[in-house]
Amino acid sequence: MPRLAANPILLFLIHLTQSALLRQIAYLRAENRILRSRITGAVRVTPAERTILLRLGRCLGISLPDLISIVHYKTFLGWVRTERKTSSTRRAPTRGRPVTQSAVAEIILRMARENAWGYSRIQGELLKLGIVVARNTVKNILIKNGFHPTPGKHAGDWNRFLTRHMQTLWACDFFTQDIWTAFGKATVYVLFFIHLGTRRVHLAGATCNPTGAWTEQQCRNFVADVADRGESISYLIRDGDGKFTAAFDEITRSEGGKVKRLPPESPNLNAFAERFVQTIRNECLDHFVVFGERHLEHLLGEYASFYNSVRPHQGRANHPIGVIPFPATTGPPDPGKIGCESRLGGLLRHYHRKAA
């Protein structure tokens, strides 16, 4: 059979298509490298994602090492070997335990979410409900859904700890503020305590010389203030700052509380205190040039009163800490009956309905 001559127009179209695809691939490779550089640490892929990468990557052959970026090329080869080994040893499921029902798995996951239980304890609770499930089945379900099978035997769940003690848990910390005095600029250290359950803040004091004795006295004042309100302290979270002395901790323990010292360089574990510092800076201190300690004390006092009474808090479903009844919405509001109270020259504002 005679060989057909290639159509020049068809070859030209193929060339254009290939050039466009190469440009697209070059762009995607550059974009992928940029995105990958923004990610710190290893990227964990799910089994389903690994299957997709294997299906698409195996057909690329020797060009894959130049393209792969989400994992190392050797890791990809390990996936290929594991899949081949699994496929060769896979057998048809003729016998064995039946697949756990989705309803039972849902109950297992609910128990894991609501309690710090291991898989053995969950199995026992299931038996009380008349549900017979093997321990390893419970364990596998927990691991598959991201739960530790023995939470009591590994590092404590910090979020669970905070939730459990939220109503009697306090945190404390320092933040600094530069002020201008007759002798030039000085740095003032402000000590504060924050109640994690209500977000209420107790500004203990401000000083240019935060000695251990000064910090201990502020703690005494804080403990007395909490006792006067009929409240208690179960735990007090603090960092390893040297200004927090052993006597400071003993003052808290004398009132029945425990001191939880945080490990070094772990601001996320004291996130409530860190967030308050950011809030008071953004909403108050960054808007002023502070002249002297009395000026700073005035700003801190005004903001603390505003923060603890009328400011809405997202962590409290946008409710303020103070008792402010929400009026029933019976119709469209009258703009003329909306009042506004302002502080610090209008920087802090509180809106309310005027009395009838």
pLDDT digits (tens, 9 = 90+) for 31-52: 777 777 777 767 777 887 778 7
Encoded tokens for 312 = 């809405």
pLDDT at 332 (0 to 100): 67
Task: Indicate if the pLDDT at residue 153 is higher than 60.
Answer: no
For 12-158, list the strands marked E by DSSP.
none
Q: Using an 8 Å Cβ cutoff, are 347 and 333 in contact? A: no
Q: Is 72 helix (H, G, I), strand (E, B) or coil?
A: coil
More confident residue, 185 or 70: 185
Instruction: Note the helical H segments in the chain.
Output: 8-37, 47-57, 64-67, 73-89, 102-114, 119-128, 135-144, 158-164, 212-228, 246-254, 271-283, 292-309
CB-neighbour burial class of residue 157 (10 A; exposed 0-12, middle 13-18, buried 19+): middle
Provide mean pLDDT across the span 117-133. Answer: 84
Percent helix, percent strand, percent coil in the chain, to nearest 5: 50, 15, 30
Name the band, by pLDDT with cuts 50, 70 and 90, for residue 219.
Answer: very high
Q: How many residues are recorded in the chain?
A: 356
pLDDT at 13 (0 to 100): 59
pLDDT at 4 (0 to 100): 44
pLDDT tens digits along 1-33 = 444 455 666 555 566 667 777 777 777 777 777
Chain centroid offset of residue 100 CA: 33
Task: Indicate if the pLDDT at residue 54 is higher than 60.
Answer: yes
> Of 324, 299, 331, whose CA–CA distance to 309 is shortest?
324
pLDDT at 72 (0 to 100): 76
Dihedral-angle region of residue 230 (phi above 0 means left; psi in -120 to 50 means alpha; beta otherwise): left
More confident residue, 202 or 82: 202
Which helix H or strand E contains 221, and what residues bound it? helix 212-228
Provide mean pLDDT across the span 293-309. Answer: 94
Most confident of 38-47, 131-140, 149-158: 131-140
The type of residue at 40 is T
Q: Which residue has the tokens 């600094």?
A: 176
> Of 64, 135, 71, whose CA–CA distance to 97 is shortest?
135
Buried b (16+ CB within 10 A) or exposed e, 263-286: eeeeeebbebbeebbebbeebbbe
pLDDT at 284 (0 to 100): 94
Provide mean pLDDT across the span 201-223. Answer: 94
Q: Using an 8 Å Cβ cutoff, are 207 and 273 in contact? A: no
Least confident of 7-11, 33-37, 136-140, 333-337: 7-11
pLDDT tens digits along 103-122 = 888 888 888 888 777 888 88
Q: How far apart are CA 193 and CA 172, in angstroms?
A: 4
What is the pTM for the complete model shown?
A: 0.57
